[in-house]
């Protein structure tokens, strides 16, 4: 009896549960990126579900935050993969990465702002060298070898600057109502100039 249910339990949830889980996570991202101190009631309302339901899926607040963390990290990994950092000239690869990351929107801010998202699968914050991070650092070193990236720009510094510029681009849309595509092109242009050899 219920062999399919057992299967689902082992592999994944029912489609309905998967949908509401997504709705909650998405709403949480939107709500928390606007206000990091938003309550679970706010998240529930934004998701269009009852507060009870939120607790059903994420017993504690930290569970929800952790879920957001993994969600965002997965998106980052996927975006990095799509950017194919190994192909073509380093500056062009950096452009592609920046573009892919930009598409992730507000999500990116959360990782910086809410340290709890790194309370992850037993990893020690800084120690958590995500694969995508390593890919980026490798790209920088490659570009420097090829002479297409500024050798003075430390690889960790470029990493920091990339994220800072993405942050800046989104801030620009929020603060000055700059259209998204304008903010993106400013961001790309600035990043290119800053990293050029």
Partner DNA sequence: ACTTTTCGGAACAGTCATGTTCCACTATGG
Partner DNA sequence: CCATAGTGGAACATGACTGTTCCGAAAAGT
Contact 71, 149 (CB under 8 A): no
Q: Is 161 in the site for a copy of itself (CB under 8 A)?
A: yes
Stretch that binds DNA, among 41-49, 107-115, 153-161, 169-177 (CB under 7 A): 41-49
Q: Is 39 in the site for DNA (CB under 7 A)?
A: yes
What are the CA-CA distances from residue 83 to residues 137, 157, 184 (Å)?
14, 20, 16
Stretch that binds DNA, among 1-9, 75-83, 123-131, 183-191 (CB under 7 A): 1-9
Site string for DNA, 147-176 (x = CB under 7 A): ------------------------------
H helices within the chain, ranges in order? 3-11, 15-34, 40-47, 51-57, 61-83, 90-103, 107-113, 131-146, 155-176, 180-195
Q: Is 196 in the site for a copy of itself (CB under 8 A)?
A: yes
Q: Which does 132 bind (CB under 5 to 8 A by kind): DNA, a copy of itself, none?
A: none
Contact 17, 56 (CB under 8 A): no
Nearest CB to a copy of itself, comparing residues 41 and 194: 194
What are the CA-CA distances from residue 16 to residues 2, 19, 67, 74, 181 (Å)?
18, 5, 18, 22, 35
Site residues (CB under 8 A) for a copy of itself?
A: 36-37, 113, 126, 150, 152-154, 156-157, 160-161, 163-165, 167-168, 171-172, 175-176, 178, 186, 189-190, 193-194, 196
């Amino acid at each position: 009896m219920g062999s399919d249910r057992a299967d689902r339990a082992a592999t994944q949830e029912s489609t309905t549960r998967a949908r509401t889980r997504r709705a909650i996570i998405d709403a949480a991202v939107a709500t928390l990126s606007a206000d990091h101190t938003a309550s679970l009631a706010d998240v529930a309302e934004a998701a269009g579900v009852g507060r009870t339901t939120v607790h059903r899926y994420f017993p504690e607040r930290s569970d929800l935050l952790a879920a957001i963390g993994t969600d965002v990290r997965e998106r980052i990994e996927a975006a990095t993969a799509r950017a194919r950092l190994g192909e073509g000239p380093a500056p062009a690869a950096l452009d592609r990465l920046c573009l892919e990351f930009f598409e992730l929107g507000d999500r990116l801010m959360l990782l910086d702002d809410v340290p709890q998202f790194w309370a992850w699968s037993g990893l020690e914050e800084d120690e958590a060298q995500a694969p995508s991070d390593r890919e980026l650092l490798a790209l920088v070193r490659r570009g420097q070898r090829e002479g297409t990236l500024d050798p003075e720009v430390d690889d960790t510094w470029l990493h920091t600057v990339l994220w800072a510029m993405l942050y800046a681009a989104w801030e620009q849309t929020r603060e000055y109502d700059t259209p998204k595509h304008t903010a993106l092109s400013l961001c790309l242009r600035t990043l290119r100039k800053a990293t050029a050899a």
